[in-house]
Structure 1
Amino acid sequence: MKILIIRFSSFGDVLMTSPVLKKIKKVYPDSEIDFLVYDSFSEAVTDNPNLNNIYIFPKKKSKDFDYINKLISELKEKKYDYVIDLHSKLLSGYIGKKLKTNYIKYQKRKWWKTILVKLRLIRYKADLPIVKQYFRPLKKLNIFYENEKTEFFFNLSIEDNLNKKYNLNEEYLILAPGASKNTKKWVYFNELAALLTEKLNMKIYVIGGKEDFGVVKEGKNIIDLCGKLSFKESGALLKHAKFSVTNDSGPFHISVGVDTKTFVIFGPTDSGMFLFGENEILISSNQKCSPCSLHGDDECPKKHFNCMKLLLPEQVFEVIKEKINENTGN
């Protein structure tokens, strides 16, 4: 059986397809699974052992129909038995249906709910975690969700090279202060870093994009690597960390994917979109107006940003300390 999976973006959504890939391979061990993804998010699935081929789609070509139709002709030659559309947008639907084979797509949230949330008439609450949503249409293939976990893969050479630079065997933690939207960014990462170095006396690595450089000030035991690591390198660093503290962002999903204890801070978005196990600790100020957004915004629609501003660094530190003490028995 030949299967094409389509999920173009974003990083976390692409990474959360990994449970689906693993389960397909378990149910159909002889299947060939290919993946179509935007170039900017391809690191979420490269090195995944359950994939045969990855088609990397340049995002800048997403409206270039000459390119799109040429790609469709190339994909038709593979003679897929199934196309599984886990993006459910116009482009993924156009490509999937043009391949003239069994087309399966996952059901996104109701269209009217999206409109009402964007108009600020209702708060956004997920109907189901994204991973479970991905599995719903796969019942046609007798594939069902059974607590499969998100997994992030990288080449061992990346881990070896990183170990030579940063000594992954020593004890350290990771802070990831960035996010795709301003309202998803907690505002006290710098203050938390000061508390963590003072109270725990551990080395801290700060990871994220180049736009996040300087959010946490470098100092004794604080090393800012924002803009200096690839997603894969960030994954290798996260894998060996004692724990991480993130926003609702790519590093959150990577940290979960390498099975590192993760403290994740939520403000305007709904944590119900994701699955939480024992290793994932949700931190929120639980404001009445939250969640208010599907994916975050450039600014707080109510102008006060209480969901992030009222969650103080001392409160986050106490949650971290409590969970660490539970593990050590102190």
Structure 2
Amino acid sequence: MKILVIQLARLGDILQTIPTLNALQRLNPGAEIHLLVRSRFSAAADLIPHLSRTWLLDSRTIFAPLFEQGNLRETQVQLRSLLRDLRNENFGQIINLSFSPASSYLTTCLASPGVDVRGYVRHADGFFNPNEDASCYFYAQVGVGKSNRIHITDLMAQVAGVSLATGDWFTKYKPKKVDALPEKYVAIHIGASQANKAYSAENWAKVINKFDAPIVLIGAVGERPLTEEIFQFVGENKKYFITDLVGRTSFTELFDVIAQSQILVGADSAPMAMAPFTDTKCVNLSSQTVNFWETGPRVSGSRVIFSKKINDIHPGDVIKEIQNTILGAPAGKNVAIATSAPDGYIPQFPTSDDFEWNLVKALYMGGELPVVEDYSTILAMTQLREINQIVLEQTQQILIKKESSLHADLIARGDEIIAGIKRFAPKILPLISWYEVERTRIPPGKLANIAERTIKICKGLEHVLSLYLGTLSPQLRRSNENFALESLPDFE
């Protein structure tokens, strides 16, 4: 069998795909594994063992005629050529791990009857289809502002239908010892995957000025200006303890530097995704612009220092956690410690979304429903239940009358109100997201089939809401009703 894995995201995402690719080969020893990536990130694909072929999507070349000359035809010709070559491989399984709705168009173009397709695709009418359960979970519950606590690497494996083993974290590159580097040092990646995730030059300089050990700076060529800015703040006596390799290493040489370091320090970035392959502990600087549960360091004992804004992390706390990690000492405040436990991290600070995460586990993993302790959430559930009952009744009328025009308008209005409830009731966002994504999964077809699927989803939502609202005491119900008169927003 031939298997095509599509990963059109960035460098770190390709690195996080490697364990799944290794597991696919381990579980399908006779299969040909092909990988499609963007050309600019092909260096990561070169590290992956057992690949039969790496396909490159040169997005800059393909889309240049369209964006630079307005020549849509030439762009279409190049895309069709790539698609034709891929289709000719007759893949038995296509796995889209890009997690972008845009990539679903490509997956749909490559799919054919009888092919096992996993990951984002499109329905026959062109509307988005998150597809199988794991991808639906990702679309509903993963990302900044949501409460997922399953690591991206594990989610990719679930989409591919494989279970990861400890031995799946390896590449075909074996790190080499670099004699020119200090015997013991801390590697600092000064940049980040995005500018709003980066620690400032002044803060990095404060870390360097107060740290009493050799430091090796790493980063891409485009991060050289940040290096120069850092050196403007670094004391002359400290510059002798710094080895500046920013923009001066190849991709594989970066593995050498990380493997040889005592600790890797940095924000959300590709080097953080490289560290599990060298078993290097990390100190990760994180903020609310990224969900560290999903993309943070994997090696047990690594630390995540969290603040709402990354530059609010005090340089002294960074130094302290570097030392604590090296010594295996207890973590300070606002720090999460990486473990091998299912949730991934043990936060040393109060987490604000425990209810939401427990609700996610109840919806998807058979956990117990969390206890609601605030009126606003009960009020939101009450209104959600009322709107859901209207949608359910109108959908049942479609089945009875075999006609949808008026009822469809009311259902659409109900969907708008449900979407609005999310804005004032974040605690039930996981439940509403589950409902919305399940509705998205319904394929085009006969009116009766669509109505039956919708009814089933509405009944599922009603079941969860009834477990909460059906057990309220009369006194609490009266209190909620009185509170609702003043607190519920007007959706009329």
Sort the Cα spacing of 1:243 and 1:25 in 2 relative to 1 into closer, same or farther, 3 A: same
Residues 1-330 of structure 1: pairs in structure 2 closer than 5 A: 1-61=1-61, 63=63, 64-99=75-110, 100=112, 101-105=115-119, 107=135, 109-110=138-139, 123-126=145-148, 128-139=150-161, 143-146=162-165, 150-154=169-173, 159=176, 163=178, 167-168=180-181, 170-187=183-200, 188-196=203-211, 199-200=212-213, 202=214, 204-213=215-224, 214-217=228-231, 219-267=239-287, 268-274=289-295, 276-285=298-307, 287=308, 307-326=309-328
Sort the Cα spacing of 1:231 and 1:113 in 2 relative to 1 into closer, same or farther, 3 A: closer
Equivalent pair of 1:260/1:279 in contact (CA under 8 Å): no
Sort the Cα spacing of 1:270 and 1:322 in 2 relative to 1 into closer, same or farther, 3 A: same
Equivalent residue pairs, number: 287
Secondary structure at 1:14 match in 2: helix
Equivalent pair of 2:141/2:147 in contact (CA under 8 Å): no
Deviation at 1:3, TM superposition (A): 0.5
Equivalent pair of 1:152/1:258 in contact (CA under 8 Å): no
Deviation at 1:152, TM superposition (A): 4.9
Distance in 2 (CA, whole Å) between partners of 1:28 and 1:3 is 10
2:21 is matched by which residue type in structure 1?
Answer: L
Secondary structure at 1:87 match in 2: coil
Distance in 1 (CA, whole Å) between partners of 2:62 and 2:15 is 20
Deviation at 1:323, TM superposition (A): 1.9
Equivalent pair of 1:20/1:134 in contact (CA under 8 Å): yes
Distance in 1 (CA, whole Å) between partners of 2:219 and 2:325 is 24
Name which of structure 1's ranges 171-180 and 13-22 shifts more when overlaid on structure 2.
171-180
2:139 is matched by which residue type in structure 1?
Answer: K
Sort the Cα spacing of 1:238 and 1:28 in 2 relative to 1 into closer, same or farther, 3 A: same
Equivalent pair of 1:62/1:91 in contact (CA under 8 Å): no
Deviation at 1:266, TM superposition (A): 0.4
Sort the Cα spacing of 1:309 and 1:97 in 2 relative to 1 into closer, same or farther, 3 A: closer
Deviation at 1:127, TM superposition (A): 5.7
Equivalent pair of 1:38/1:58 in contact (CA under 8 Å): yes
**TM-score normalised over the length of structure 2:** 0.54
Distance in 2 (CA, whole Å) between partners of 1:71 and 1:274 is 31
Distance in 2 (CA, whole Å) between partners of 1:76 and 1:274 is 33
Deviation at 1:277, TM superposition (A): 3.2
Equivalent pair of 1:259/1:279 in contact (CA under 8 Å): no
Aligned to 1:290: none
Distance in 1 (CA, whole Å) between partners of 2:326 and 2:171 is 24
Deviation at 1:60, TM superposition (A): 0.8
2:206 is matched by which residue type in structure 1?
Answer: E
Deviation at 1:111, TM superposition (A): 6.3
Equivalent pair of 2:263/2:322 in contact (CA under 8 Å): no
Equivalent pair of 1:243/1:260 in contact (CA under 8 Å): yes
Equivalent pair of 1:256/1:280 in contact (CA under 8 Å): no
Q: CA RMSD in A?
A: 2.6
Deviation at 1:284, TM superposition (A): 1.6
Equivalent pair of 1:34/1:55 in contact (CA under 8 Å): yes
Sort the Cα spacing of 1:256 and 1:144 in 2 relative to 1 into closer, same or farther, 3 A: closer
Distance in 1 (CA, whole Å) between partners of 2:302 and 2:30 is 34
Aligned to 2:128: none
Deviation at 1:62, TM superposition (A): 5.2
1:283 is matched by which residue type in structure 2?
Answer: I
Secondary structure at 1:269 match in 2: coil
Distance in 1 (CA, whole Å) between partners of 2:305 and 2:229 is 20
Q: Deviations over 1:217-264 (max 9, x none)?
A: 271021222122232221221111121111111121122332212111
Structure 2 segments unaligned to the other structure (5+ residues)? 64-74, 121-134, 330-492
Name which of structure 1's ranges 317-326 and 127-136 shifts more when overlaid on structure 2.
127-136
Identical-pair percentage: 21
Structure with the bigger RCO (C-alpha within 8 Å, sep 6+) is 1
Sort the Cα spacing of 1:69 and 1:88 in 2 relative to 1 into closer, same or farther, 3 A: farther
Sort the Cα spacing of 1:124 and 1:76 in 2 relative to 1 into closer, same or farther, 3 A: same
Equivalent pair of 1:211/1:227 in contact (CA under 8 Å): yes
